[in-house]
Structure formats: structure tokens, C-alpha cells
A = this chain, B = another copy of it.
């Protein structure tokens, strides 16, 4: 049986998962692919650390370049992560015409253009299925399963850390700080959780999904990104009362009003309220879920573990299998890594986004206050769908929750600036967009 040589860069959590997967299911893969995937070399800076998986001592090296250049290595798996040496090694491999499989979302979100164009010039493959959604096949679905569709929207829960925290806050009545501590203790959050909880990780993934759906490069600097840091548990309770659940969402869509072809797309990351009956609301804990709306398929959803050693390895190995098939059939770049934009597509500024909103105001308990708020909203073209005012309990300021009909972000910004400056308004108004 023919062999496909694999060089692995990065022997961390996912790297060890890939080795484990090859050891456990190598025979199965060989039978399904018609060729054997053989691990030739593993490069890592630390060769001493126990990775929880046994490998022949001779496979390990600290010299990544030697792995890339090894003529017996036909496919390079990059699992170093980050945008430093990972970029250098990836470019080296592509330069040699060797196909690369990676899970590196940060690198693709930031240097995708350079990487994809080099792969194209060299006529070789770059697969990145595990960069978004870990074990759930969203990249494959967008690129192949939904190939006949114009993508209307993507709503994704793409960060397991945030979803775990939000789920625990809701089900266990925890504060954000307590839920974060719990996530850290359970190994679901880093000691420095900023990348996850401030939404950057989700933003990297949103950029990749937007590129796949619309062939457009979305600079992170042009994306509206809000995380869940410091989210108040009281909003989770009110959301429940109103029939919603709070999720950190990546929202990517081409609004119908934009017309076809040259319309702008929205790409944004923020916590949002999702109706409890919506399938996305049932994506709990560390799981990820992505809802895609296509013009032919309608709504489809992909759910699974968004991170972790074995789920991520599952997708990395599926990509390696694809590359192996391309090698066997002599057809590299069978599916282009990234589509090109059909026509000119811009990124819609956040100010032009329209949504329904949940607003939590802190108001002095005096007659006429709510009427004044309503009047300001009305003057800014914001129409109220419902109001919820909780029992007062003797506090000076009482919370009032307002749900709006669809309104413009810019109008809301202006209205809230006026409202928050009013003398009977306490702490700044809290807002959540309602999606789904």
C-alpha cells in the first residue's frame, strides 16, 4: 500500500491528539483512503515534556526546517499556533510546494492573503478545517456541502470557553467572575483568558468564515468585537424571563436590502440574545454550533466540540485524508482553498447595522420617567416592543428592561447617549442585540 509521509510541527495538545488518532485509527484510515498515513517526523521546541502519547524517540526533533525539507514528508501539519514561527514554517512548506494542514485561526485571519496566494502560486493545497469549530465540519460544509448556495447568513457560537461560562452562569446562577474561575479550574479557560472572553478568538474565526462565504478579506480592525467580560448575571435572568438565552455570537450576513452582487456584508462579534426555542440556544457548555442560511438549503446547523485534543485532531486528520487523496489522484487544489469575491463586496460599518435590542436601564423610581425614555427612543425611530419593570424593593434606582423592534445601531447609539445623560438615569444603559 502506498504511503503518504507526514511531518508534524508542534507537539502540543492537538499535535498529540493527531499522533494518538493516527495510532488508534491508522488502519481504518488506510483502508478508507487507500494509502497509509505515516508519521515521519515531529518538531517541537520541547522534546522532554510528556505528551501523553508514545512515539519512537527518533521521530522527534527541534529542527522544524528539517521536517519540512525531508523528502519523505509529503504533507506538513502545522500545529504550533500563533503568528510568529508558524507563519515562517508554513510559508517554507508552501514554497517547496508541500501541502499544509493547519488549525491556526489567528494566522489565517491575519496573514491569510499572503498564505493563500503563495499556495495558489505553488499549485499546492492549504487545508484549515480545524481552524474553526474544532470537531464540527463547518469549513467543509461551507466549501463543499453548500457549494450551490448563496450564503445569506452565518450565526456561530465559536468559542467553547465563553459558551461554558455563559452556560454555567445561567444554570448555576454564577457571577461572571465565579464562572470564569470555574472554567479556569476545569481547564476550559487560560490563565490569561483575554483572547477568549474579549471575543478575539471568535473574531479570528468570523474572519475565516466570512472569507469562505463571500471571498472577501475582513481585516480584524474593521470588525465590531465585543466579548463577555464582566457580563452581569442579572441580564441572563432577564433574558430568561423574556424567553432568551445569551450567547457570544459571530454574525456574518449579507442583508437582503443590500441588493445582489455588490452588497456590503456584516461581520460582527458580540453577546446576543437568542430565543430559547432556537436550536442555537440549545448549544450548551463547551460545545460550538454554527447556523448557516443558504438560499437553497435554508437553515442548516453544525454542532460539536469546538476545541480539545481529539475533536480537533479528528478534523486535522480529515484534512490530511483530503490532501492524501489529492496526492494519490494527482489533483492538488481540487477545491480552491478560498473563493474569490464575486464583484465588489464591502464591510458594512457597525453604525449601519440594524437589529432588535434588549436595553436594561437604571431609572429613578419617579412618575413620568419611563415616558421620557420612550419619547427619546421614539424621536430616534426606535419603536418599543415590550417593557419589563421589576418590583422596586426600596432601591433608589430600579431596573427597567425594554425590548425594541428592529432599529438602527446609529439611532440607538444617539438615543442612548441622550438617555444616559438624563438626570433620572443611573448607571449606563446595558444593551444586547437580539438575533435568530
Question: Which residues does A use to contact B, with CB under 8 Å?
Answer: 17, 21, 24-25, 27-29, 31-34, 129, 135-137, 140-141, 144-150, 277, 279, 281-284, 287, 294-305, 308, 310-311, 313-315, 317-318, 321-322, 325, 329-331, 334-336, 339-340, 342
> Cβ of B318 and Cβ of A147 under 8 Å apart?
yes
Q: From B140, B150, B299, give the contact of A304 (CB < 8 A).
A: B299
- Complex alpha-carbon distance, A314 and B300, angstroms: 11
> Cβ of A295 and Cβ of B331 under 8 Å apart?
no
> Cβ of B31 and Cβ of A318 under 8 Å apart?
no
> Cβ of A29 and Cβ of B304 under 8 Å apart?
no
> Cβ of B282 and Cβ of A321 under 8 Å apart?
no
Q: From B129, B305, B330, B342, give the contact of A298 (CB < 8 A).
A: B305
> Cβ of A317 and Cβ of B148 under 8 Å apart?
yes
Given contacts A148-B321, A329-B334, contact A25 B301 (CB under 8 A): no
A259 to chain B, nearest CB (A): 15
> Cβ of A144 and Cβ of B25 under 8 Å apart?
no
- Complex alpha-carbon distance, A281 and B279, angstroms: 9
Q: From B136, B277, B283, B296, give the contact of A310 (CB < 8 A).
A: B296
- Complex alpha-carbon distance, A318 and B137, angstroms: 15
Residues of the B chain whose Cβ atoms lie less than 8 Å from the Cβ of A147: 29, 32-33, 317-318, 321
A43 to chain B, nearest CB (A): 22
A325 to chain B, nearest CB (A): 6
Residues of the B chain whose Cβ atoms lie less than 8 Å from the Cβ of A310: 295-298
Supply 14 A–B pairs (Cβ within 8 Å), ascending by A: A29-B147, A31-B340, A129-B145, A140-B145, A145-B315, A146-B318, A277-B282, A297-B305, A298-B310, A299-B305, A301-B302, A301-B304, A330-B330, A331-B331
- Complex alpha-carbon distance, A428 and B33, angstroms: 51
